[in-house]
Amino acid sequence: MFPDPHQRAEWQLPPSLLRHPAPHRLYLVEVDRWWLIDTRTWAEDRIDRRIEVPAAHLER
């Protein structure tokens, strides 16, 4: 959120405030599968129109 290092330092929490039992935590989410969901007609027909996106398309 803060590209400027000095401004970022003003808002940065020390790591000790992010460890158990702290109220704020950081998590790493690893995605195994990803879908695109088309909800345009869901309210009308309740047909699941999601399609899976191959993992190779997610890597950068």
The pTM of the full predicted model, rounded to 2 decimals, is 0.41
Residue 39 lies in a domain: yes
Q: Do the domain assignments include residue 7? A: no
Range of the domain at 22: 16-57
* 23 found inside a domain: yes
- Between 21 and 58, name the one with better pLDDT: 21
Q: How far apart are CA 43 and CA 46, in angstroms?
A: 6
Kindly state whether residue 52 falls inside one of the protein's structural domains.
yes
Q: Do the Cβ atoms of 37 and 44 come closer than 8 Å?
A: no
Dump pLDDT digits (tens) for 10-44: 998 888 888 888 888 888 888 888 898 888 888 89
pLDDT of the residue at 10: 92
pLDDT at residue 60 is higher than 70? no
Split into its structural domains, the chain has a count of: 1
- Which residue intervals of 4-56 are DSSP H helices? 5-11, 42-45
DSSP H helix total and E strand total for the chain? 2, 2
25 domain-assigned? yes
pLDDT of residue 18: 86
Query: Residue-wise over 12-27: b if at least 16 C-beta within 10 A, else e?
Result: eeeeeeeeeeeeeeee
Residue 57: predicted pLDDT: 74
